[in-house]
Amino acid sequence: MPLHHLKNGINKRAIACHARTPGLRKLPLPAVGIIVGLAFANGLVWVAVGVVLHYHPALVSTAVLAYTLGLRHALDADHISAIDLMTRRLIASGQRPVTVGTLFSLGHSTIVVITSVVVAATASAISHKFGSFSRIGGIIGTSVSASFLIILGLMNIYILYKLVQQMKRLIAMAPGEENKFEIKGAGCLFYLFKKLFKIIDRPWKMYPLGVMFGLGFDTSSEVALLGISSIQGAKGTSIWLILIFPVLFTIGMCLLDTVDGALMMALYTSTTLAKDQIAILYYSIVLTVITVVVAMVIGFIQLLTLVQNAANLTGVFWDGVINANNHYDIIGGGICSSFIVLGGLSVILYKPWRRRIDQARQIRHQPQQLQDVEKTGTVVVNEAATSGKDVHQHEEETTIEDQPSRISPTHGAEPHRNIAEDIVL
């Protein structure tokens, strides 16, 4: 069968490509396939949303905010904890659960989508009944929208502060001890449903668990999405347009939760990987910063526009506010571009930043005996330089083996040249 041969050929090429790629081969091939599929789905959704928003440019910034909230919500402690715990449990029972994160996020987002539609429809119905007060309603709607976004930004500034504090405590730990560190901030339902985890013996059961988690709305991201839907409904936005926001929230959350589940599975099925709490906090901080910037920029533009319309203010500054309000599509495009640039920049900068952090942690937590040896090595090198001898020749003559009393037997022997290299660095 030609179709059968084509499928086999694609599978063989995918397996060969997976085996050749150093980073990908640490992840299970089925998990890589799901991640690639979800990334493709994200692209398709954004293309469709882009076509729709071309005719509604005022919603571009809000759409970007909804997507960012979904990405950030995927890194919330309750998601990380639930996916981590269930992946570990299912692997211990002999399974390879590549879809744990995907099914959990789909169940979670089901409630979010349904509730967003209900809230938006209710707000829209109420606003229609008071159509005669459209001007007052517009003022109230804009003021609520601006206030909500600014409050959301302030809430996320507090969350950002807590994340930075946790990162500082984590970096202060000795290398290897970060595996014991627990990211704080899990929702109350995580602790409520913890006993139910014991009955989940198949990956598909993560879907109903995600639904139950979604019933809580105990995180700022979910409350923020409902607020966005409510505000747009009160403004008279079509329910079909409002659906864009929970859909974007869902695809963003689903993508990162799937990646999280794949990484957890790779962790617990490989002896070469370690659970990287620093990376989780790093990207949580990056996404929270983006959320703060987007919410505050949109919120203050709306607030200034409201003040200008109410007081009929004029001047260069207020002309700029009017222009900003009339060019929401450009602002939205700028936010999209900055989102991509900041995201890519954070990925590029992570490795050199992490390398510096790890080096500083190694130096800070070196055993005292090894530090004594390094100090001794400094004296020896200086003496060699003052006596006119070649430093490299002196290093060959003076080795760790010649000075067994200076080093603890628990650390083993190490060539003296490494100490000299450390001194140079």
- C-alpha 136/C-alpha 54 separation (Å) is 28
| Residue 95 CB partners (closer than 8 Å, separation 6+) | 202, 203
What does the pLDDT look like over 286-327, one tens digit per residue? 877 877 887 788 788 878 888 887 778 888 888 888 887 777
Residue 184: what pLDDT?
56
Confidence at residue 42, expressed as pLDDT on a 0 to 100 scale: 94
CB atoms within 10 A of CB 247: 20
At 65-120, the pLDDT tens digits run: 889 888 888 877 667 767 876 777 787 677 778 888 899 899 888 888 888 888 77
Task: Tell me if 316 sits within 8 A of 188, measured CB to CB.
Answer: no
- Looking at residue 145, its pLDDT comes to 64
> In sequence order, which residues have a C-beta less than 8 Å from that of residue 297 and are 6 or more positions away?
61, 331, 335
Residues 344-385 pLDDT 10s:
888 889 889 988 988 888 887 776 445 545 555 544 444 434
Q: What is the pLDDT of the chain when averaged over all its residues?
A: 71
Query: What are the b/e assignments for 320-337, b being 16+ CB within 10 Å?
Result: ebeebbeebbebbeebbe
Q: How far is Cα 389 from Cα 384, in angstroms, rounded to an integer?
A: 5
Q: Which two tokens stand for residue 85?
A: 């715990």
Q: Which two tokens stand for residue 68?
A: 């960012």
Instruction: Tell me the three state secondary structure of residue 235.
Output: coil
Question: Comparing 339 with 170, which gets the higher pLDDT?
Answer: 170
Query: pLDDT-based confidence at 39, cuts 50/70/90?
Result: very high
The pLDDT of residue 424 is: 32
Burial 16-32 (b: 16+ CB within 10 A, else e): eeeeeeeebebbbbebb
Question: Can you tell me the distance from the alpha carbon of 174 to that of 160, in angstroms, rounded to the nearest whole number?
Answer: 24
Domain range list for the chain = 28-364, 368-424
